[in-house]
Amino acid sequence: MKFNFSILLAAAAAAPQALAHYNFERLIVGSTVTGEYEYVRRTTNSNSPVQDVTSNDLRCNVGSFGYAATTKTYKVTAGSTVGFTIRDYIGHPGPLYAYLSKSTTANVNTYDGSGDWFKIYELGVKDFATYTTSMTWLSDGFKNYTFTIPKAIPNGQYLLRGEHIAVHGSGSIGGAQFYLGCAQLEISGGTGGTPKPVGKIPGIYSATDPGVYFNPYWPPVTNYTMPGPAVYKG
């Protein structure tokens, strides 16, 4: 019985979700939703994920730096509510994040994301699995999501990175799928501070991290370790 249930879960996940790719295309600031790729860097891989955690593409997605110069930079105040829309919706299970990286160049549209990143938001498991029910995630089916920019950060230009890690294929190394996009921001009104912990991208994830490489179907998942650094609360 246990074996049959595990096979059923794996089959259900593999078939319809093969077409459930998505991307981050519009910036949300307060009640404003910007144009498609107006403030978010466009990518060249359509809605496909990044799966190599050692690739520079993990910063802002494939080909996105080529669009940085033509992407606008949105002026926001620290403490504001911001976010991303998702085309078409989050169709795979897994955790949802947001990161910031202060530009190391005078203009963020010349910044490649090679500096320090810190996490400002995460959303994980809703219900863990049992022998008769599968694990569910708080981000299941999301078409958009919002969060708050911390107040205790230095003023300046930043990349804001949205990311969802799809774990339906995480039973094999390299099977996790990273869906992501970066918006360009100029943040004012911050109180300073030193965001931490920080890390480089690539570098914050390993292909063998317990939240990236695990069997999401069997045995029932009863705990989960969120990948990456802890959230900076500011």
What is the rounded distance in angstroms from the CA atom of residue 150 to the CA atom of residue 31? 18
Region 193-213: mean pLDDT is 97
pLDDT at 39 over 80: yes
- Digit-coded pLDDT (tens) for 63-77: 999 999 999 999 999
| Class level of CATH domain 2-188 | mainly beta
* pLDDT at position 234: 82
Region 86-113: mean pLDDT is 97
What is the rounded distance in angstroms from the CA atom of residue 79 to the CA atom of residue 89? 26
Query: The whole model's pTM is what?
Result: 0.91
What is the rounded distance in angstroms from the CA atom of residue 43 to the CA atom of residue 174? 21
Q: Does residue 166 contact residue 177 with C-beta atoms inside 8 Å? A: yes
Beta sheet of 118-123, edge-to-edge order: 74-77, 177-188, 156-166, 96-102, 118-123
* pLDDT at position 11: 42
pLDDT at 10 over 70: no
* pLDDT at position 19: 61
Every domain of the chain and the residues it spans:
2-188
Q: Does residue 182 contact residue 40 with C-beta atoms inside 8 Å? A: yes
* pLDDT at position 104: 97
